[in-house]
Structure 1
Amino acid sequence: MRRTDTMQQAISPAISLAQQTPKRIRIAWLLLLGILLMAVMGALLAGSFSVSFAEIGHVIYVRLAGMPQSGTLDTIIWQVRIPRIFAALLLGTSLAAAGAVFQALLRNPLVSPDILGVSAGSGLGAVIAMLLGLSLFWLQVLAFLGGLAAVFLVYSIASLLRQRDPILMLVLAGIAIGTMLGAGISVVKVIADPYDQLPGITYWLLGGLNGVSMAELSWAAPLILAALTLVYLLRWHINVLSFDDEQASALGINVAQSRWVLIAAATLMTACAVSFSGIVGWVGLLVPHIARLWVGPNMSRLLPFSIVLGASFVLLTDTLARSVSELELPLGVLTALLGGPFFLFVLLRSNRP
């Protein structure tokens, strides 16, 4: 029997409610795609400058037809709202996919991408750039490198404790490194200029997509898509790695190598996202958990469903953040306000007999 067939037979008892309820999956996908479409249209329409469907259609037609563009409406649609929509979709996709990967690899549905210190590392890199007065480009570069360095440090420490449970050591090392990096962020905030630098540092750490441009996303998008493609190609490896290491090795998986590759890909997605958005929590924790309740733990279904659900959630939340009042709310604050109570509701609902 081929190795792929052996894997599928081995994991079939644990995977998935979805195989017995295809109608439920189709309904969930139709509902989710409808929500995503409405979220995109709502993001185009919402804002302090009101526009209509007809005006949006005209602006898009003029641009696609190659006709000369001018006016405030064209600027708002193409230079403000469309880049922000793309950034929200990219952010939601990255955090949700990374959350699904980490939860499967660490065999715990209550972990998130920042469990290995990615967010804290990216945050420290960004606030150091702000403290030094560096440009936005270097802020994004240092945020990206900070996230990668944090996970490399966590994984190196966990590798020194190989005689113990590798998953537990990875999580504990991540908690310790994340705490130290968070302390480093606090130190930078203390020594920063309270009138010039501290407000910008504080606002960035709250997370948000205001002012994002396509130029800022041009380098992050290819890296995120490349990492996402790699994760999708290795989705069956993730299914097998959710078992004990001995079982995964018996099925022909190089456990250490596969886990490192997948963690690196998930870290790359998270670090790229944090570099242009700031720290936005709850997406990587909440979205995969909800998706798992709908489609089961099989990554062939869970990963794409989490991606679309995460993109929809972040886009809707960002639209609400800039529309609920005249003063735009930080995206990270709003995701916490919405995600915390909703996650408790999901837990209570899933705990019913």
Structure 2
Amino acid sequence: MTVGSLMPYKKYLYIFLILSPLIVMVLSLFIGKFTISPDDIIQLVIFNLMGAETPHPSVYKTVVFEVRLPRILLGMLVGASLSVAGAAFQGIFRNPLVSPYILGLSSGAAFGAALSLAVAPQFPVQLSALFFSLLAVGFAYYIATSRGSTPVISLLLSGVIVSAVFDSLLSIIQMAVNERALQSIVYWLMGSLATASWSKIHSTLPLALAGCAVIFLLRWRLNVLAMGDEEARSVGMNPELYKAVFVVAASLAASSVVSVVGIIGFVGLVIPHMMRMIFGPDHTHLIPLCITFGAAFMVLVDDIARAGMGFEVPVGVITTLIGAPFFAYLLRSTRSGGWE
């Protein structure tokens, strides 16, 4: 399927979704609790692009370029990474009900963050969460692999086992720490973009970009993997090799952003399936759409979280409230949870 073969309204929708991050980024610059007129924001951006001194108060520049813009860009990175990782895992498992956290990534990250926040503060939270999230995925893949083969059902079950282990370890930490440390852990687990900064973007971007790039460049191979191992072998493709490549790439993309913002649920489940329902299962188009619409969706939800109420709600709470009903719909509409 090519873009040109789409029905006219789908072709325009496709183009709109591809451009949606740019549209959402511009609109989101005007949203915030600190009141700055649209004219002032436009002038600030123009002056900044020209490299000229702005006549506006310095606090305006700080709010726009040190608070709002990093948060918007980090939100885009988070949404794109989780959505692409979700699409890759759904292709590998041939199941639309799979999320990036299926192999214990979120449980490992949560344990690592809790360990840093409450037990070993000398270790940075981001580094600890990243290390244990990748460790969890590595354990799950190792447990599932036998005699050079990694069956999908074994991967699924090993992910359940690893998640259970790290969830139990997290519970032990939560029971042992003081109230203040427990509050920090709980807030991290909710997932939030409130602490976004340029330094966090710089530290997250390389791994997230590398993981997304690998999936994007090899996306057509996901079409073959989604047909099953036997079909992949029949066309001369090594399914074990490419499953490992996609698991590593998706885990790098997802773990790098989770380590910074915490557990943000359902984005990696909802976005890929939503795009698949509209445009079909072809990953050559599905992956780019997940990158762009995932980025736009995450920023829109964060706009609601930071400006939709009198107080800021962790963005992970909003994505769960949106994603849970959608997940329930998938369970009822997908026969036996299989790949349709």
Structure 1 length as normaliser, TM-score?
A: 0.88
Deviations 1:47-82 (A, max 9, x none): 111222211111112222222455111000010000
Candidates 282, 285, 289, aligned match of 1:301: 285
Residue 148 (1) aligns with residue 134 (2)? yes
Q: Specify the alignment match of 1:101 in structure 2.
A: 88
Q: Specify the alignment match of 1:59 in structure 2.
A: 44
Residue 206 (1) aligns with residue 193 (2)? no
- Answer with 71-80 or 247-256: which moved more: 247-256
Q: Specify the alignment match of 1:190 in structure 2.
A: 175
For residue 319 of structure 2, what is the amino acid of its counterpart? T
Question: Is the 1:141–1:275 contact (alpha carbons within 8 Å) kept by the matching residues of 2?
Answer: yes
Q: Specify the alignment match of 1:13 in structure 2.
A: none
Q: CA deviation at 1:239?
A: 1.0
Question: Is the 2:20–2:292 contact (alpha carbons within 8 Å) kept by the matching residues of 1?
Answer: no
For residue 69 of structure 2, what is the amino acid of its counterpart? I
Gaps of 5+ in 1: 1-15
Residue 78 (1) aligns with residue 78 (2)? no
Structure 2 length as normaliser, TM-score?
A: 0.91
Q: Specify the alignment match of 1:177 in structure 2.
A: 162
For residue 206 of structure 1, what is the amino acid of its counterpart? M
Pairing 1:308-319 to 2, within 5 Å after superposition? 308-319=292-303
Candidates 186, 200, 221, aligned match of 1:216: 200
Q: Specify the alignment match of 1:255 in structure 2.
A: 239
Q: CA deviation at 1:34?
A: 6.2
Question: Is the 1:42–1:319 contact (alpha carbons within 8 Å) kept by the matching residues of 2?
Answer: no
For residue 324 of structure 1, what is the amino acid of its counterpart? G
- Answer with 174-183 or 108-117: which moved more: 174-183
Q: Counterpart of 2:173 in 1: which secondary structure? A: helix
Residue 29 (1) aligns with residue 7 (2)? no
Q: What fraction of aligned residue pairs are identical, expressed as a percent?
A: 34
Distance of 1:349 and 1:290 partners within structure 2? 13
For residue 178 of structure 1, what is the amino acid of its counterpart? S
Q: Specify the alignment match of 1:41 in structure 2.
A: 26
Residue 275 (1) aligns with residue 259 (2)? yes
Q: Counterpart of 1:115 in 2: which secondary structure? A: coil
Q: Specify the alignment match of 2:104 in structure 1.
A: 117
Deviations 1:134-193 (A, max 9, x none): 26x711111111111011100000013878x81001001101111221121111111111
> Aligned pair in 2 of structure 1 residues 347, 186: CA closer, same or farther (>3 Å)?
closer
Distance of 1:115 and 1:306 partners within structure 2? 18
For residue 248 of structure 2, what is the amino acid of its counterpart? A
Q: Specify the alignment match of 1:331 in structure 2.
A: 315
> Aligned pair in 2 of structure 1 residues 277, 42: CA closer, same or farther (>3 Å)?
same
For residue 213 of structure 1, what is the amino acid of its counterpart? S
Question: Is the 2:29–2:69 contact (alpha carbons within 8 Å) kept by the matching residues of 1?
Answer: yes
Q: CA deviation at 1:233?
A: 1.4
> Aligned pair in 2 of structure 1 residues 38, 18: CA closer, same or farther (>3 Å)?
closer
Give the count of matched residue pairs: 333
Question: Is the 1:115–1:174 contact (alpha carbons within 8 Å) kept by the matching residues of 2?
Answer: yes
- Answer with 111-120 or 227-236: which moved more: 227-236
Distance of 1:290 and 1:19 partners within structure 2? 21
Q: CA deviation at 1:21?
A: 3.0
- Answer with 121-130 or 339-348: which moved more: 339-348
The two structures, once aligned, show a CA RMSD in angstroms of 2.2
- Divergent runs of 4+, >4 A: 16-20, 343-351
Q: CA deviation at 1:257?
A: 1.1
Distance of 2:128 and 2:120 partners within structure 1? 13
